[in-house]
Amino acid sequence: MDLLQQITEVDRPLRLGNHARLRELVRLHGDEVDVFSAHDPWELARYTGGAGDEGVR
């Protein structure tokens, strides 16, 4: 995690718990779901076809 994220982190246990749940989701259902960061404009564009929130499932 970069310095800005560390400084602005509000609830570390909650964030880490969310990451653990996402890892478990992928472990159990990785063939059914794609997990990506909507905060990453390149990943979001790849999943939305580059058109804002259109195409999001």
pLDDT in 10s for each residue of the chain, 57 residues: 578 777 888 888 888 899 999 999 999 999 999 998 888 899 989 888 876 555 445
Q: What is the pLDDT of residue 24?
A: 98
Residues spanned by the domain of 27 = 3-48
Alpha carbon dihedral 52, 11, 20, 44, in 10-degree steps, equals: 10
Confirm whether 57 is domain-assigned: no
**Number of domains observed in the structure of the chain:** 1
Whole-number Å distance between alpha carbons of 5 and 33: 26
Q: What is this structure's pTM?
A: 0.64
Confirm whether 53 is domain-assigned: no
CB atoms near residue 9 (< 10 Å): 11
Whole-number Å distance between alpha carbons of 16 and 50: 29
Asked whether the beta carbons of 54 and 48 are under 8 A apart, the reply is: yes
Confirm whether 55 is domain-assigned: no
